[in-house]
Structure 1
Amino acid sequence: MQLGLDALKEISGLTFSKLLGSGGKNGFSALPNFGTYVLFCVWESERHALNFFSENPFFKTYQKKSLEQFTAFLYAAESHGTWDGIQPFVKSATLDMTKPVVVLTRARIHFGKLWSFWTKVGKVSRSSEGYAGLALSIGVGEWPLIQQATLSIWQSQSEMLDFAYKNQKHKEVLQLTRKLKWYKEEMFARFVPYKFEGIWEGKNVADLV
C-alpha cells in the first residue's frame, strides 16, 4: 500500500485518491485483512479512469496479483464533511428513493476514544448482515484502527435510510457519536452508481442490485 501511494501521484485526470486496506469479518474488525484492498478515486472524466485501468503500470501489476476485481462507477450526489481537510466531490447526480445508492462514511477517530469506538462498531456491522436492500458492505481504512471508512451498496435509497434511522443498533451508535465526540474529522457521502464491473466474493454485484 505504501508503494502504491507514490504510484498514484501525477496521474492524468485523477483529482483525489485513497488506497484503503480492510479489516477482518467483512472489514468491520480491528484485525486486518491482507487479502482485500480498495482503490478509491475521483476522476475528471470516465475516459481518464478507463485509460488508467487499461494502461497504468501500477494498476496492471495489481490486476495480475488479484484473484478477483470489482469496480463501481459512481456519480457524486451528496457529501458532508471533509477528508484530509478537503471536500473532494462535485455533485453530478440526484438521488432517487427507488434507485440504488452507494454510501461512504469516513472518520478519523480521536486516539483516546479508540476503545470506546471499537467496542460499539462491531454490533452495528453485525446488525446490518442480511438487512433488506443491502447488496454489499465493507469496512476499510487508510490506517488501522484510527482512520476508518465504510463503503456500502444498497438496492434503493429508501432501504438505506430504513437501516440508518430505524435499525436500533445504528441509532444507538449515531447517538453515541454525538454524545462522546469520537471523531476528529468525518465525512458522509452518497453516490448514484451507473455501472458495475467484475466479481465480489464470487458474485456479480450488478445482479444483486
Structure 2
Amino acid sequence: MTPQPLVTLHLWGVPGRAVPRAALRMASVRPALARTPGLRFAKLLGTGDGRTFTVRDADPRRWGLLAVWDDEAAADALDDGSVAASWRRIADEEWSVRLRPLVARGRWSGREPFGSPRPQRWDGPVAAVTRARLVLRRAARFWSAVPPVSADLHTAPGLRMAVGIGEAPLGLQGTFSVWDSAAALNAFAYDRAPHAAVVTRTAQEGWYAEELFARLAVLSSRGTVDGVDPAAQPAG
C-alpha cells in the first residue's frame, strides 16, 4: 500500500526590484528540485488574484511551489535545501503550509498527484486546490463566466485566503484557498448560486481538457501572506 503523501505549498513574496530574478528562478531551480529525494510531484507556479484568470490577474511579486512528498523528512529536505534558499535570497515574505489529502478527483498533467484518498472527516481548517487546462477554443466563454464566481468566492463566509495559481499566464490555471472548515467550503461549492451555475455550464459546454479538485487538511503552517498567516486559527 502506497503511504499517504504529504503536500506542501510555498508562497514567496518578492520586492519589485527582484521580479526579474524571480522569473528566472522558475527555470533555474528546476534541476535541483528534480533531484530532491522523496519528491513525487511538483509545480512551480505564478500567482494572481484569480478574479478573471487572464493575464491582468497576474501578481509578479508572488510566486509559488506546490509539491507532493513521500513523508515529512522529504519535505524538511526542501525547506533546508538549495531550492528554498534560492527563493529566500530574493524574497521579503514567505509562507508555507503542510497538508494531507482528504478528497481528490481528476488529473494534473496526466497524473493524480494527491492519490485517491478515502473521504474522511477533518475538524480543522481545510484547503482546496483546483486546477484546469482549458480547451482554448472555448476559453472566451469560460473567462466571461469567471468574474461573478470570483467575486462571490472572495466574500464567502469562512474563507481565510484565496489566490490564483497557474503554470502559465493563459490556459493553465487554478486556485488555492484556505477555509475555516469543510462545512464552509461545502457551503460555497454547493450552496452558492454563482458557483453552482458555473459547475453546470462546465459540464454542458466542456470548457476543460483536464481538471482537478482536491480538499486537504491543514496540518501546520509558518510565515505570512500580506502580513498574516491565513492557516492560523482566527482570533476569538
Normalised by the size of structure 2, how large is the TM-score? Answer: 0.82
1:199 maps to which of 224, 228, 231: 224
2:157 maps to which of 97, 109, 132: 132
Q: Does 1:162 align with 2:187?
A: yes
1:42 maps to which of 61, 68, 78: 68
Partner of 1:14 in structure 2? 39
Asked whether the equivalents of residues 103 and 151 of structure 1 are also in contact (C-alpha less than 8 Å), the reply is yes
Q: Alpha carbon RMSD of aligned pairs, Å?
A: 1.7
Asked whether the equivalents of residues 122 and 217 of structure 2 are also in contact (C-alpha less than 8 Å), the reply is no
Flag structure 2 segments of 5+ consecutive residues without an equivalent.
Answer: 1-25
Worse overlay, 74-83 or 90-99 = 90-99
Q: Distance in 1 between matches of 2:148 and 2:87?
A: 33
* Percent of pairs with identical residues: 31
Q: Distance in 2 between matches of 1:72 and 1:93?
A: 22
How far 1:15 moved relative to its partner? 0.9
Partner of 1:174 in structure 2? 199
How far 1:13 moved relative to its partner? 0.9
Amino acid at match of 1:73: R
Flag structure 1 segments of 5+ consecutive residues without an equivalent.
Answer: none
Aligned structure 1 segments of 4 or more residues deviating by more than 6 angstroms: none
Asked whether the equivalents of residues 95 and 157 of structure 1 are also in contact (C-alpha less than 8 Å), the reply is no
Q: Does 1:119 align with 2:144?
A: yes
* Change over 3 Å in CA distance of 1:92–1:46 after alignment to 2: farther
Q: Distance in 2 between matches of 1:43 and 1:73?
A: 10
How far 1:28 moved relative to its partner? 3.0
Q: Distance in 2 between matches of 1:174 and 1:200?
A: 29
Question: How many residues end up aligned between the 2 structures?
Answer: 206
Q: Distance in 1 between matches of 2:119 and 2:112?
A: 18
Q: Distance in 1 between matches of 2:50 and 2:196?
A: 20
Q: Does 1:142 align with 2:167?
A: yes
Asked whether the equivalents of residues 138 and 207 of structure 2 are also in contact (C-alpha less than 8 Å), the reply is yes
Partner of 2:128 in structure 1? 103
Q: Distance in 1 between matches of 2:122 and 2:101?
A: 15
* Change over 3 Å in CA distance of 1:115–1:131 after alignment to 2: same
* Change over 3 Å in CA distance of 1:93–1:49 after alignment to 2: farther
